[in-house]
Structure 1
Amino acid sequence: MTPKVETSTPANTPTPIGPYNHIAKVGTFITIGGTAGVNPATGKLAGDDVFSQTAQILDSFKVMLESVGSDLDHVVHINIFLKNMSDFEEMNRAYISKMGNHRPARTVIGVSELPKPGVLLTMNLSAVVRRGKIKLKRTAEREGKF
């Protein structure tokens, strides 16, 4: 049986700017596509600085992950696409403020352009479902409910 790919974009997260959902989940594996620091309540950038945009992205990731039974502590890898490497330290300061002591694998890539004006960085990630949720999902799958 081929695993089912579930996709979603939860409420209280930025609206995607193209024909995609933010989240794709297969079993216990979660991936979240490129996300900018857009405040979901206003549809505008959280600020014109890298700290506020980084913090907003991670706040959005928290909401997205919780919607599929995970959290920031279950992030496996994050890609960061940063427009200006001189913003690296400030991005890290915001990153640490939101990620705490969890240090998943991470790649930072310098880019010359991003899809929306004013966007200073985007991020995507891979994560896994929290352990307690895995058992519930597997049980439900065996009962034919998914």
Structure 2
Amino acid sequence: MSQDAVQIKTQPDPYEPFNITQGFRVGDLVFVSGQAALTLEGEIVGVDDFDAQAQQAFHNLADVLAAAGSSLEQVVKVTIYLTDMSYFERVVALRERFFTPPWPADTLVEVSALALPELMIEVDAMAMVNGQTVPRS
């Protein structure tokens, strides 16, 4: 691995048992693995509760970004995986809550399942670091 790539992890790291890195900082960019409704101890939050899971996933994303020296305000690309596209309108509301215009580039995908059967949403992202922010209107 390049010396320019720095592994990002929270303490404790709920992804360590799965051999997944939470993210990497490469120069002035950070790449965050999919964040789901897990506590730092690896417990699932909000079984059968999409809103609770979504909130936890976005909070986890914010925590990993902060550990990398970034933030939600610096996100330039986000991918959101849903197990049911009927949650689309709620995702729009989540984007309004956690991001600001101009909105990050986005891919929204319905999948048949996520890593654990109870999970309903997963969010990954790319962001800038070093104090760079996306000009928001």
Which range, TM-score by smaller chain? 0.7 to 0.9
Alignment partners' CA distance in 2, 1:77 and 1:63: 17
Q: TM-score, normalised by structure 2?
A: 0.83
What CA deviation, in whole Å up to 9, does each residue of 1:77-118 have, x standing for no partner? 000111101111122223322224451111001111111021
Would you say the 8 A contact 1:51–1:94 is kept in 2? no
Alignment partners' CA distance in 2, 1:120 and 1:77: 20
Please provide the CA RMSD for this pair: 2.1
Give yes or no for the alignment of 1:131 onto 2:134. Answer: no
Ranges of 4+ aligned residues in structure 1 off by more than 3 Å: none
Instruction: Give the structure 2 partner of residue 23 of structure 1.
Output: 23
Q: Which amino acid aligns with 1:85?
A: M
- Which runs of structure 2 are paired with 1:1-146 in the superposition (5 Å)? 3-11=3-11, 15-16=14-15, 18-40=18-40, 43-101=43-101, 103-131=103-131
The alpha-carbon distance between structure 1 residues 42 and 18, as it changes in their structure 2 partners (threshold 3 A), is closer
What CA deviation, in whole Å up to 9, does each residue of 1:40-95 have, x standing for no partner? 35722245222221111111111111112111000010001111011111222233
Alignment partners' CA distance in 2, 1:25 and 1:104: 18
Could you say which structure has the higher helix fraction? 1
Larger Rg: 1
Q: TM-score, normalised by structure 1?
A: 0.78
Alignment partners' CA distance in 1, 2:69 and 2:31: 13
Structure 1 spans left out of the alignment, 5+ residues: 133-146
What CA deviation, in whole Å up to 9, does each residue of 1:99-138 have, x standing for no partner? 2445111100111111102101111110010437xxxxxx
Would you say the 8 A contact 2:34–2:122 is kept in 1? yes
